[in-house]
């Protein structure tokens, strides 16, 4: 049986060989035909039709993703249309053809889709269907950066400011077509010049941003980098009057990556040293949304967001250690605006182990509604030496403690030797107590300083107390000092105060008020009224149309009579207002400047040392 089986196999094999020799064998398959390679792609940042481009930009396409090889085999293709992007070979020698039965291939693409859009793609295996490759998602080889400018609380109108940067740009297709192909993903060599200047955008986020919004007018295209901490002049903002503001990067490194969009928010309101206040980031394909430390740039002790604020207040109320929030001088720095929404506010007490100073850095607290602590109301119930509050605006304050508050002001109920500097009140004001009330401070009990502050509420504020009411402070004692303050444009509604004054209701001493301005103040009452203070002498203070009176010549060391509002911006008046500020030991220095619209507004108080006054 074994021999028979071997014989049969031998016969079968010879018959098959004979069939081959005579050409009678049937082919098992036919050779596949080649077809031109076709690729369709998308790019999330490309909008419009690239056929309108000014130059014939090109890409390199390689059916190879091996480092060190793909660049040597790449062929040159031109972009033909978008947003569904396709490619056409530059010529016959630059044409890829593949077999029709090819099901996958490695693929590398790099080049410029238009004059401003470099892209790259690399994949070891991508599906092929009869020579067609689809759904290639090209990655932009740059980051987009926009800048939103905020003035106080409000976002400035788009296009108001010109913004430049010291970051490296990517150049353009015609000027920068150098590529580093030593890695898996081709990388565009960064241009050496800065990106073109842009205008400020009014967008509040880049989450969900569309390609049409990423125009080169409002978003600069930069090379990937790491912005080192404390990079000076990262951005330069040119104001409409051509004044330039330099914006620093802050204390935290910022990583800028390809394919991401970054929105930097900068508040130019009144910070002396401007820094970035927040960054919003997202990947341009909108698949991933990442927020980089919102409102937390730079990273240093202080309040950068509402969450920070709420946590600090909670720590303070619960007697937790607040040191981590304070700088080395025990000052709490505010780096964002805070809206308290008229919710009940328990005032701080700046004294003892829990004491701390406050620097608003030009920011605003909105809608303060304070209750009584130790029979005092305000943002702080008490402020003691050596602490100070500075650089803060309160827009809207309610301190209704007529029965349980002895003293109240928007910022401090009672000042015990501390200082209130460069602080301002505006908006709705309702402050009432059973003794003394002031727009800034309720009462000062000696050795206190109120410096470069302004009170400009809505037209009819409620500012009432039975003893002393003042636009800046209700009651002052002998060794207190009020200097460089401005009160203007409202009507006192109080009808019960024994003493009512434009700056101070009662000043128990002479020369306590110096270098102050009051104008356009009314009162619906008679009694003991003082344009500056009804009791006590003052020096170098000027007023116009206060309780129907204006400054006279030689009043309080003045040498000019005020007959109209613009007289307050008289050169001699400004010089005399600056006399006490020049010789003051209080830091930082402030000075008066003439109003830019003297028939409408009075002088302004600005940071900086005044020129040495030369008096006649």
DSSP state string for 225-237: EEEPTT-TTSEEE
Q: Cβ distance 593 to 603 under 8 Å?
A: yes
Strand 388-400 relative to strand 348-350: parallel, antiparallel, unpaired? unpaired
| Residue listed under structure tokens 């009512």 | 500
Strands (E), 433-576: 436-438, 441-444, 449-451, 454-457, 462-464, 468-470, 473-476, 481-483, 486-492, 499-501, 504-507, 513-514, 517-523, 528-530, 538-539, 542-546
Biggest CA pair distance of the chain: 143
Between 379 and 141, where is the model more confident?
379
What average pLDDT score do residues 535-550 get? Answer: 92
Q: Cβ distance 602 to 565 under 8 Å?
A: yes
DSSP code, position 213? G
| Residue 23 pLDDT > 80 | no
Cα torsion through 90, 94, 99, 100, rounded to 10: 0
The confidence score (pLDDT) of residue 540 equals: 94
| Residue 299 pLDDT > 60 | no
What average pLDDT score do residues 53-72 get? Answer: 84
**Per-residue pLDDT reduced to its tens digit, 500-526:** 999 999 998 777 899 999 999 999 887
Distance CA(452)–CA(420), nearest Å, equals 8
What three-state secondary structure class fits 569?
helix
| Beta-bridge mates of residue 222 | 143, 169
**Per-residue pLDDT reduced to its tens digit, 344-361:** 999 999 787 789 999 998
| Structure token pair of residue 379 | 């943002």
| Residue 114 pLDDT > 50 | yes
| Residue 528 pLDDT > 50 | yes
The structural architecture, per CATH, of the domain 337-607 is: 3 Solenoid (2.160)
Q: What is the pTM of this model?
A: 0.57
Handedness of CA 276, 277, 282, 288 (dihedral sign): positive
For 436-476, what is the HEC assignment?
EEECCEEEECCCCEEECCEEEECCCCEEECCCEEECCEEEE
Handedness of CA 73, 76, 82, 86 (dihedral sign): negative
| Residue listed under structure tokens 């800028």 | 256
Distance CA(505)–CA(529), nearest Å, equals 8
Q: Cβ distance 222 to 165 under 8 Å?
A: yes
**Per-residue pLDDT reduced to its tens digit, 362-374:** 889 999 999 999 9
What proportion of the chain, given as a percentage, has pLDDT over 70?
86
The confidence score (pLDDT) of residue 320 equals: 92
What average pLDDT score do residues 54-69 get? Answer: 84
| Residue 408 pLDDT > 50 | yes
Residue 271: which pLDDT band, with cuts at 50, 70 and 90? very low
| Residue 293 pLDDT > 50 | no
CA-nearest of 132, 109, 129 to 119 is 109
Distance CA(121)–CA(108), nearest Å, equals 5
What average pLDDT score do residues 98-110 get? Answer: 93
Distance CA(474)–CA(433), nearest Å, equals 10
| Residue 53 pLDDT > 60 | no
Between 254 and 211, where is the model more confident?
254
CA-nearest of 421, 409, 423 to 380 is 409
Q: Residues 408-426, buried b or exposed e (16+ Cβ, 10 A)?
A: bbbbbbbbbbbbbbbbbbb
Lowest mean pLDDT among 42-51, 386-395, 401-410, 535-544: 42-51
Residue 18: which pLDDT band, with cuts at 50, 70 and 90? very low
Residue 17: which pLDDT band, with cuts at 50, 70 and 90? very low
Residue 277: which pLDDT band, with cuts at 50, 70 and 90? low
The confidence score (pLDDT) of residue 126 equals: 94
CA-nearest of 339, 351, 260, 337 to 304 is 337
The confidence score (pLDDT) of residue 296 equals: 35
DSSP code, position 26? P
Distance CA(106)–CA(387), nearest Å, equals 68
Beta-carbon contacts of residue 152 (< 8 Å; ≥ 6 apart):
267, 269, 270, 337, 364, 393
| Beta-bridge mates of residue 253 | none
Handedness of CA 122, 126, 130, 132 (dihedral sign): negative
DSSP code, position 273? S
Lowest mean pLDDT among 23-32, 117-126, 157-166, 553-562: 23-32
CA-nearest of 17, 217, 215 to 117 is 215
Distance CA(490)–CA(500), nearest Å, equals 14
Between 231 and 210, where is the model more confident?
231
Residue 272: which pLDDT band, with cuts at 50, 70 and 90? very low
Residue 171: which pLDDT band, with cuts at 50, 70 and 90? confident
What average pLDDT score do residues 194-208 get? Answer: 84
**How does the average pLDDT of the chain come out, rounded?**
84
| Structure token pair of residue 423 | 């602080």
Compute how many other C-beta atoms are within 10 angstroms of the C-beta atom of residue 339. 15
Q: Which of 285-289, 302-306, 325-329, 533-537 has the highest mean pLDDT?
A: 325-329
Distance CA(335)–CA(221), nearest Å, equals 28
The domain spans of the chain are 38-139, 143-283, 337-607
Which CATH code of 2.40.50, 2.60.40, 2.30.30, 3.40.50 fits the domain covering 143-283?
A: 2.60.40
| Residue 208 pLDDT > 80 | no
The confidence score (pLDDT) of residue 278 equals: 61
Beta-carbon contacts of residue 393 (< 8 Å; ≥ 6 apart):
152, 360, 362, 363, 364, 365, 423, 424, 425, 426
Lowest mean pLDDT among 43-47, 160-164, 172-176, 206-210: 43-47
**Per-residue pLDDT reduced to its tens digit, 577-614:** 999 999 999 989 999 999 988 999 999 999 988 888 87
Asked if omega into 298 is within 30° of 0 (cis), the reply is yes
| Residue 290 pLDDT > 80 | no
Q: Cβ distance 349 to 378 under 8 Å?
A: no
| Residue 488 pLDDT > 60 | yes
The confidence score (pLDDT) of residue 153 equals: 66
| Residue 217 pLDDT > 80 | yes
């Amino acid at each position: 049986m074994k021999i028979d089986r071997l014989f049969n196999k031998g016969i079968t094999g010879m018959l098959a060989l004979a069939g081959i020799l005579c050409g009678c064998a049937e082919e098992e398959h036919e050779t596949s035909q080649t077809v031109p390679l076709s690729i369709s792609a998308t790019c999330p940042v490309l909008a419009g039709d690239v056929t309108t481009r000014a130059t014939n930009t090109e890409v390199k396409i390689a059916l190879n993703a091996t480092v060190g090889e793909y660049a040597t085999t790449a062929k040159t293709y031109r972009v033909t249309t978008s947003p569904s992007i396709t490619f056409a070979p530059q010529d016959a020698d630059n044409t890829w053809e593949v077999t029709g039965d090819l099901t996958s291939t490695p693929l590398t693409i790099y080049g410029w889709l238009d004059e401003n859009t470099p892209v790259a793609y690399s994949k070891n295996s991508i599906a092929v269907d009869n020579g067609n490759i689809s759904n290639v998602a090209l990655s932009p080889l740059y980051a987009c950066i926009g800048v939103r400018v905020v003035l106080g609380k409000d976002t400035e109108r788009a296009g108001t400011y010109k913004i430049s940067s010291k970051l490296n740009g990517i150049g353009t297709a015609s000027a920068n077509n150098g590529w580093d192909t030593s890695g898996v993903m081709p990388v565009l060599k960064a241009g050496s010049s800065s990106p073109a200047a842009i205008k400020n955008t009014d967008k509040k986020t880049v989450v969900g941003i569309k390609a049409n919004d990423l125009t080169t007018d409002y978003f600069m295209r930069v090379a990937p980098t790491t912005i080192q901490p404390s990079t000076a002049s990262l951005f330069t903002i040119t104001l409409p009057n051509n004044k330039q503001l330099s914006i620093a990067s802050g204390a935290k490194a910022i990583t800028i990556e390809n394919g991401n969009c970054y929105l930097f928010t900068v508040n130019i309101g009144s910070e002396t040293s401007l820094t970035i206040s927040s960054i919003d980031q997202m990947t341009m394909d909108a698949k991933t949304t990442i927020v980089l430390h919102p409102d937390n740039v730079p990273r240093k002790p202080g309040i950068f967001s509402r969450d920070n604020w709420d946590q600090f207040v909670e720590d303070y109320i619960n007697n937790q250690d607040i040191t981590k929030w304070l700088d080395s001088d025990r000052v709490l720095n505010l780096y964002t605006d805070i809206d308290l929404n008229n919710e009940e506010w328990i005032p701080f007490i700046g004294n003892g182990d829990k004491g701390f100073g406050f620097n608003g850095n030009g920011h605003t607290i909105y809608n303060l509604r304070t209750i009584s602590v130790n029979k005092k109301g305000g943002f702080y119930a008490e402020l003691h030496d050596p602490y100070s509050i500075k650089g803060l605006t309160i827009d809207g304050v309610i301190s209704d403690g007529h029965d349980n508050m002895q003293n109240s002001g928007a910022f401090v109920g009672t000042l015990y030797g501390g200082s209130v500097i460069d602080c301002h009140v505006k908006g709705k004001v309702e402050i009432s107590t059973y003794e003394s009330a002031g727009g800034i401070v309720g009462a000062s009990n000696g050795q206190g300083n109120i410096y470069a502050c302004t009170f400009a509420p809505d037209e009819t504020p409620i500012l009432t107390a039975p003893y002393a009411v003042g636009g800046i402070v209700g009651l002052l004692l002998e060794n207190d000092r009020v200097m460089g303050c401005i009160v203007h444009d409202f009507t006192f509604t109080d009808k019960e105060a024994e003493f009512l004054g434009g700056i101070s209701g009662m000043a128990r001493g002479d020369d306590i008020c110096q270098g102050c301005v009051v104008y356009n103040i009314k009162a619906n009452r008679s009694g003991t009224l003082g344009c500056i203070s009804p009791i006590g002498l003052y020096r170098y203070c000027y007023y116009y149309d206060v309780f129907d009176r204006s400054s006279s010549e030689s009043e309080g060391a003045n040498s000019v009579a005020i007959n109209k509002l613009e007289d307050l911006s008289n050169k001699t008046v400004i010089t005399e207002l600056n006399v006490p500020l020049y010789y003051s030991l209080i830091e930082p220095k402030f000075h008066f400047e003439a109003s830019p619209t003297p028939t409408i507004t009075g002088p302004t108080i600005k940071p900086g040392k005044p020129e040495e006054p030369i008096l006649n």
